[in-house]
Amino acid sequence: MDCGTEGDAPPGPVAGDGATDRIPLAVVVADRDGLVSHWSTGARRLFGAAEEEAVGRFVLDLLPVSGALPDDAFTLDGTYAAHDRLGPDLESSLDGRLNYPAAGRARLSVPERGRADVLWWAYPLVGQGDERLLVLAADAERLHPGGPDGGSGAAAYERIAPGFALHTDFPGADELARRLPGILPGMSVAESARIVAQVLELGYPVLEFSQSTRVPVTPDWGVARRTERPARHERAARAAAQGLPVPEESVAETLRDSVLPHIPPRRAGCDLATRRLPGTRAGGDWFDSVKLPGARTALVVGDVMGHGLDSAAMTVQLRTAVQTMAALDLPPAQLLRNLDGLAQRLGDDYLTTCVYAVYDPIASELRLANAGHVPPVLVRADGRSDLLDLPTGAPIGVGGVPFEEVRVPVAPGDRLVLCTDALVEVRGEDLGVGLAKLCESAAHPAASTDDACDTIVRALGTRGGRKDEVALLMARLNGIAPKDVAEWRLGFDPAEVGRARAAVREQLHDWDLARLADNAELMVGELVTNAVRHAHSRPIRLRLVRGDTLLCAVDDDDHTLPTLLSAGSGDESGRGLRVVSTLAREWGTSRTTAGKTVWFELTPGRR
């Protein structure tokens, strides 16, 4: 029975977990020598190896659990370096290093299946038995619509990641322990109980969907394929429908969670990851990422002081205001000044700390401003980590305090870490101690931004009996290489439209993107025509940026933003943006210091 075998019907879901169906987990145990001792039926299905082939083999030969064993066992590119380094010392290595569980996501080659997308959790095991590592794994593709099992009706999540629910009193522990010997034949009831107890102590495995919904793995070691609203939201809704009083804390959490951003894992030139650790009381911690013109990205983390419904409501208002102001492409210091003025108009009961940063992957530069917040950490590609020296400023809402902007040059591979103070602050301990620990854990080598976030959470997430929630945002700054950027300066002569169209077509052929040339050339012609018509004295700038999408931007010195109009077939004007809105994957306009930018994106698969 492996959640069970093919003939077993899985039991009902755990009360409140919102699961309507399950996907079996692979369950694997390795001994003190790092050799597989137990291999479930689910492991055979997921990894393509039968039990008789897997048992006795080194665990890293079969599973993508890099980071779950000591670092010196791996080369810089993440491949295993020397099996004999672990040998009989694996027990002490695990006991000494793996004080926390590890998790990750990996793509690997599976016999007869090709490439597989795997989510995994790894737990160090201690005690009298031979078991020293427990690994759980699931097929990520089956959690998406159209996966191998159809995935009918499943929500289209932007991000699915493995995580841990710390200090959880999980009601299904006994059932979970009872099932484990059936999943792993040969395991005794005592061994099973010991393993389950350690899983609960180290952190119950959960899935994080789009960074705002956390779903526990169920007692039959299965993963929910489809989720509903969190249970606390359902309880609050039922209470309101019955005319019963709804606890303010539930309302506050529901209000804040309803607008938590679904930050994509990648923006132009950077990879993103976030974590939000709930506290025992609802607060005003938040993060966001906003797409800006010119392939830039705005990153923000804020903390509304206080707790409860008013704090949650202020969080919603400020986050919405930041998104609106960021879309206007305001410089960081100006944005904080505007936000400060807005906060004072909303009321003087709540103050907010905030860091706002803009990353330009083409110029390889960060522009940052701080409003009384804990400083960000910049981890250099070579492993050095430092707190950024920003003028601290005063919290949003104080009023009359200037904010200053700092420009920081960065390089591909650097990482920016933004968090709220509850992650580093412990009562009775100097704040510098927590900040030093943040720098140390942020600098730990990691295969991805998600792995790096998990390392920080394991190192700092449970210090000092934390009661306040935590917001954590990390960006890996990959940059955009000069070879992926093309730029032209254009005059005001209508003949420049033809020159621009020809230059774009030629560049796309050079980039092996000729399939996009027809649409791109047509839209560039429309935008440059408008720019030639309305520009004043500065040259028009045309820029192409090649990445996951093709970005095209046209800048001129006219501050009037174009408007999408309804235009008939006989109209001589008004069709330009209609053409762009029809053909582009995404498009937009914004004011700049010198005038305005109009941009659009195409994806390589779109014609």
Beta bridge partners of 359: 297, 366
- pLDDT-based confidence at residue 149 (cuts at 50, 70, 90): very low
Reported as a pLDDT band with limits 50, 70 and 90, residue 183 is: confident
Average pLDDT of the chain? 76
- pLDDT score of 283: 63
Comparing CA positions, the residue from 26, 30, 453 lying closest to residue 223 is 26
Per residue in 357-368, pLDDT tens?
999 999 999 999
Residue 175: pLDDT over 80: no
d(CA 26, CA 37): 14
- Does the pLDDT value for residue 240 go beyond 70? no
Q: Is the pLDDT of residue 7 over 50?
A: no
Amino acid letter at 390?
Answer: L
Choice between 531 and 3, residue whose per-residue pLDDT is larger: 531
- Determine the average pLDDT of the residues in 415-433: 88
| Three-state SS letters, 438-472 | HHHHHCCCCCCHHHHHHHHHHHHCCHHHCCCCEEE
Q: Which of 49-58, 133-142, 186-195, 308-317 has the lowest mean pLDDT?
A: 308-317
Q: Identify the residue with better confidence: 4 or 280.
A: 280
Q: Which residue has the higher pLDDT, 258 or 375?
A: 375
Which range has the worst mean pLDDT, 135-149, 178-192, 227-241, 259-273? 227-241
- Interhelix angle 248-257/231-241, rounded to 10 degrees, is 120
Top pLDDT among 483 and 176 is at 483
At 518-574, the pLDDT tens digits run 999 999 999 999 999 888 888 999 999 998 889 999 999 988 888 776 555 554 555
Q: Is 126 exposed, middle or buried (0-12, 13-18, 19+ CB in 10 A)?
A: middle
- Determine the pLDDT at residue 345: 81
Question: Residue 68: its pLDDT value, please?
Answer: 52
pLDDT of residue 398: 85
Beta strands in 52-190 (DSSP E): 102-110, 114-124, 131-139, 160-165
Average confidence (pLDDT) over 313-329 = 84
Q: Quick: pLDDT tens for 102-129.
A: 777 777 777 766 677 888 888 888 777 7
Instruction: Answer yes or no: is pLDDT of 329 > 60.
Output: yes
Cα→Cα distances 59→87, 163, 186, 221, 561, Å = 12, 21, 18, 20, 59
Taking residues 562-589, what's their average pLDDT? 72
pLDDT score for 577: 82
Sign of the alpha-carbon torsion through 354, 359, 363, 364: positive
Whether 17 has a pLDDT exceeding 80, the answer reads no
pTM over 0.85: no
**φ, ψ of residue 541 in degrees (nearest 5):** -115, 130
Q: Residue 367 forms beta bridges with which residues?
A: 358, 407
Helix axes 309-327, 332-346, angle to 10 degrees: 140
Count of alpha carbons within 13 angstroms of residue 370, beta-carbon side: 19
Say if residue 15's pLDDT is above 50.
Answer: no
Instruction: Report, as an integer, the average pLDDT of 583-594.
Output: 84
In sequence order, what E strands does 247-351 have? 266-267, 270-277, 284-292, 296-304
Q: Yes or no: say if 460 and 434 are a contact pair by the CB < 8 Å rule.
A: yes
Whether the predicted pLDDT of 335 surpasses 90: yes
Helix axes 248-257, 309-327, angle to 10 degrees: 10
> Residue 83 and residue 60: Cα distance in Å, rounded?
9
Q: Which residue has the higher pLDDT, 564 or 212?
A: 564
Please, what is the angle between helix 517-534 and helix 495-510, to 10°? Answer: 150
CA pair distance 497, 38, nearest whole angstrom: 68
- Per-residue confidence (pLDDT) for residue 160, from 0 to 100: 75
Q: Read off the pLDDT of each residue in 50-64 and give the average, rounded to a whole number.
A: 86
Q: Each residue of 437-461: pLDDT tens digit?
A: 999 999 988 888 888 998 898 888 7
